[in-house]
Protein backbone atom coordinates (compact mmCIF):
# COMPACT_ATOMS: atom_id res chain seq x y z
CA UNK A 1 0.00 0.00 0.00
CA UNK A 2 1.45 3.35 -0.97
CA UNK A 3 1.40 6.48 1.12
CA UNK A 4 -0.40 9.52 -0.22
CA UNK A 5 1.19 12.92 -0.37
CA UNK A 6 -0.51 15.80 1.37
CA UNK A 7 -1.69 17.19 -1.97
CA UNK A 8 -3.17 13.85 -3.03
CA UNK A 9 -4.95 13.42 0.30
CA UNK A 10 -6.30 16.97 0.04
CA UNK A 11 -7.53 16.32 -3.52
CA UNK A 12 -9.29 13.12 -2.45
CA UNK A 13 -10.79 14.88 0.57
CA UNK A 14 -11.98 17.73 -1.64
CA UNK A 15 -13.56 15.34 -4.13
CA UNK A 16 -15.34 13.40 -1.38
CA UNK A 17 -16.49 16.64 0.27
CA UNK A 18 -17.84 17.92 -3.05
CA UNK A 19 -19.76 14.68 -3.63
CA UNK A 20 -21.22 14.76 -0.12
CA UNK A 21 -22.24 18.41 -0.55
CA UNK A 22 -23.82 17.65 -3.94
CA UNK A 23 -25.78 14.72 -2.50
CA UNK A 24 -26.90 16.79 0.50
CA UNK A 25 -28.06 19.70 -1.67
CA UNK A 26 -29.82 17.38 -4.15
CA UNK A 27 -31.53 15.54 -1.26
CA UNK A 28 -32.69 18.80 0.31
CA UNK A 29 -34.09 20.08 -2.99
CA UNK A 30 -35.84 16.75 -3.62
CA UNK A 31 -37.26 16.74 -0.09
CA UNK A 32 -38.67 20.26 -0.51
CA UNK A 33 -40.10 19.29 -3.91
CA UNK A 34 -41.83 16.24 -2.39
CA UNK A 35 -43.27 18.35 0.46
CA UNK A 36 -44.70 20.76 -2.12
CA UNK A 37 -46.04 17.83 -4.17
CA UNK A 38 -47.77 16.28 -1.15
CA UNK A 39 -49.22 19.68 -0.24
CA UNK A 40 -50.66 20.00 -3.77
CA UNK A 41 -52.07 16.46 -3.71
CA UNK A 42 -53.84 17.18 -0.43
CA UNK A 43 -55.25 20.41 -1.89
CA UNK A 44 -56.51 18.54 -4.97
CA UNK A 45 -58.31 16.11 -2.67
CA UNK A 46 -59.96 18.96 -0.74
CA UNK A 47 -57.80 18.66 2.37
CA UNK A 48 -55.79 21.55 3.82
CA UNK A 49 -52.18 21.35 2.61
CA UNK A 50 -50.71 21.77 6.10
CA UNK A 51 -51.98 18.28 7.00
CA UNK A 52 -49.42 16.84 4.57
CA UNK A 53 -46.45 17.91 6.70
CA UNK A 54 -47.49 16.28 9.98
CA UNK A 55 -45.93 12.82 10.31
CA UNK A 56 -48.32 9.85 10.78
CA UNK A 57 -51.35 12.17 10.54
CA UNK A 58 -50.53 12.78 6.87
CA UNK A 59 -50.62 9.02 6.22
CA UNK A 60 -54.00 8.78 7.96
CA UNK A 61 -55.34 11.62 5.80
CA UNK A 62 -54.03 9.97 2.62
CA UNK A 63 -55.74 6.72 3.63
CA UNK A 64 -58.89 8.78 4.21
CA UNK A 65 -58.51 10.39 0.76
CA UNK A 66 -58.46 6.95 -0.89
CA UNK A 67 -61.29 5.70 1.37
CA UNK A 68 -59.10 3.30 3.38
CA UNK A 69 -59.04 4.93 6.83
CA UNK A 70 -60.09 1.69 8.55
CA UNK A 71 -57.09 -0.01 6.91
CA UNK A 72 -54.84 2.62 8.48
CA UNK A 73 -55.85 1.58 12.00
CA UNK A 74 -55.50 -2.14 11.25
CA UNK A 75 -52.06 -1.64 9.71
CA UNK A 76 -50.99 0.55 12.62
CA UNK A 77 -52.06 -2.12 15.13
CA UNK A 78 -50.37 -4.83 13.07
CA UNK A 79 -47.09 -2.91 12.99
CA UNK A 80 -47.26 -2.29 16.74
CA UNK A 81 -47.87 -5.99 17.41
CA UNK A 82 -44.95 -6.90 15.15
CA UNK A 83 -42.71 -4.38 16.90
CA UNK A 84 -43.63 -5.75 20.32
CA UNK A 85 -42.99 -9.35 19.24
CA UNK A 86 -39.63 -8.37 17.69
CA UNK A 87 -38.66 -6.40 20.81
CA UNK A 88 -39.51 -9.31 23.11
CA UNK A 89 -37.57 -11.71 20.88
CA UNK A 90 -34.54 -9.41 20.65
CA UNK A 91 -34.47 -8.80 24.38
CA UNK A 92 -34.08 -12.54 24.87
CA UNK A 93 -31.42 -12.79 22.15
CA UNK A 94 -29.29 -9.70 22.72
CA UNK A 95 -25.91 -9.18 21.08
CA UNK A 96 -22.83 -8.75 23.23
CA UNK A 97 -19.08 -8.48 22.99
CA UNK A 98 -17.03 -11.28 24.44
CA UNK A 99 -13.37 -10.45 24.22
CA UNK A 100 -12.64 -10.03 20.52
CA UNK A 101 -15.55 -12.13 19.26
CA UNK A 102 -18.85 -10.50 18.32
CA UNK A 103 -21.56 -13.05 18.88
CA UNK A 104 -24.88 -12.79 17.06
CA UNK A 105 -28.04 -14.81 16.97
CA UNK A 106 -28.40 -17.23 14.07
CA UNK A 107 -31.68 -16.91 12.14
CA UNK A 108 -32.45 -20.55 12.92
CA UNK A 109 -32.73 -19.62 16.61
CA UNK A 110 -35.59 -17.17 15.99
CA UNK A 111 -38.84 -18.69 17.26
CA UNK A 112 -41.30 -19.89 14.63
CA UNK A 113 -44.00 -17.50 15.85
CA UNK A 114 -41.72 -14.53 15.19
CA UNK A 115 -40.85 -15.75 11.68
CA UNK A 116 -44.50 -16.40 10.87
CA UNK A 117 -45.44 -12.96 12.20
CA UNK A 118 -42.76 -11.32 10.07
CA UNK A 119 -43.88 -13.18 6.94
CA UNK A 120 -47.58 -12.45 7.51
CA UNK A 121 -46.88 -8.78 8.23
CA UNK A 122 -44.80 -8.50 5.06
CA UNK A 123 -47.51 -10.07 2.92
CA UNK A 124 -50.19 -7.81 4.42
CA UNK A 125 -48.00 -4.70 3.99
CA UNK A 126 -47.30 -5.53 0.34
CA UNK A 127 -50.98 -6.19 -0.32
CA UNK A 128 -52.03 -2.97 1.44
CA UNK A 129 -49.45 -1.01 -0.57
CA UNK A 130 -50.78 -2.40 -3.84
CA UNK A 131 -54.40 -1.67 -2.90
CA UNK A 132 -53.42 1.82 -1.69
CA UNK A 133 -51.60 2.54 -4.97
CA UNK A 134 -54.54 1.26 -7.01
CA UNK A 135 -57.04 3.36 -5.07
CA UNK A 136 -54.81 6.44 -5.29
CA UNK A 137 -54.60 5.94 -9.03
CA UNK A 138 -58.38 5.51 -9.34
CA UNK A 139 -59.42 8.53 -7.26
CA UNK A 140 -57.15 10.78 -9.32
CA UNK A 141 -58.52 9.47 -12.63
CA UNK A 142 -55.81 7.03 -13.69
CA UNK A 143 -55.73 3.31 -14.42
CA UNK A 144 -53.66 0.19 -13.94
CA UNK A 145 -50.56 1.57 -15.67
CA UNK A 146 -50.43 4.47 -13.23
CA UNK A 147 -50.89 2.04 -10.34
CA UNK A 148 -47.84 0.10 -11.53
CA UNK A 149 -45.93 3.40 -11.74
CA UNK A 150 -46.92 4.29 -8.17
CA UNK A 151 -45.68 0.90 -6.98
CA UNK A 152 -42.32 0.83 -8.78
CA UNK A 153 -41.45 4.55 -9.23
CA UNK A 154 -43.48 6.24 -6.51
CA UNK A 155 -41.59 9.53 -6.25
CA UNK A 156 -41.84 10.26 -9.96
CA UNK A 157 -45.52 9.36 -10.12
CA UNK A 158 -46.34 11.40 -6.99
CA UNK A 159 -44.73 14.40 -8.69
CA UNK A 160 -46.78 13.75 -11.85
CA UNK A 161 -49.90 13.41 -9.70
CA UNK A 162 -49.19 16.71 -7.93
CA UNK A 163 -48.09 18.84 -10.85
CA UNK A 164 -50.16 17.19 -13.60
CA UNK A 165 -53.80 17.70 -14.54
CA UNK A 166 -55.15 14.89 -12.34
CA UNK A 167 -58.48 15.63 -10.68
CA UNK A 168 -59.72 14.08 -7.45
CA UNK A 169 -62.95 12.08 -7.67
CA UNK A 170 -63.85 9.78 -4.76
CA UNK A 171 -66.77 8.39 -6.79
CA UNK A 172 -64.28 6.77 -9.18
CA UNK A 173 -63.77 3.98 -6.61
CA UNK A 174 -67.38 2.89 -6.92
CA UNK A 175 -67.08 2.23 -10.67
- The 10s digit of each residue's pLDDT in 11-55 is 999 999 999 999 999 999 999 999 999 999 999 999 999 999 999
Q: Given this model, what pLDDT does residue 63 score?
A: 95
Please check whether residue 157 is in contact with residue 149, taking contact to mean a CB–CB distance below 8 angstroms: yes
> Would you give the DSSP letter of residue 111?
-
- The 10s digit of each residue's pLDDT in 107-117 is 566 677 777 88
Q: Given this model, what pLDDT does residue 4 score?
A: 81
Q: Residues in the chain, how many?
A: 175
| pTM for the model | 0.78
When the pLDDT of each residue in the chain is averaged and rounded to a whole number, the result is: 87
Task: Convert 103-141 to b/e letters by CB count within 10 Å (16 or more is b).
Answer: eeeeeeeeeeebeebeeebeebeeebeeebbbbbbbbbe
Beta strands in 38-151 (DSSP E): 96-98, 101-103
Share of the chain above pLDDT 70, in %: 86
The residues that bridge with 98 in the sheet, in sequence order, are 101
* Upper half-sphere CA count for residue 78 (Cβ side, 13 Å): 16
Amino acid sequence: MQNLTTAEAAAIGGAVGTMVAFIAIFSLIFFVLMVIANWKIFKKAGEPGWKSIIPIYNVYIMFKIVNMKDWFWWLLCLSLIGSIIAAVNNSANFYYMSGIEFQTVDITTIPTVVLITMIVESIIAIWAGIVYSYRTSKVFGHGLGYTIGLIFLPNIFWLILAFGKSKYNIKALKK
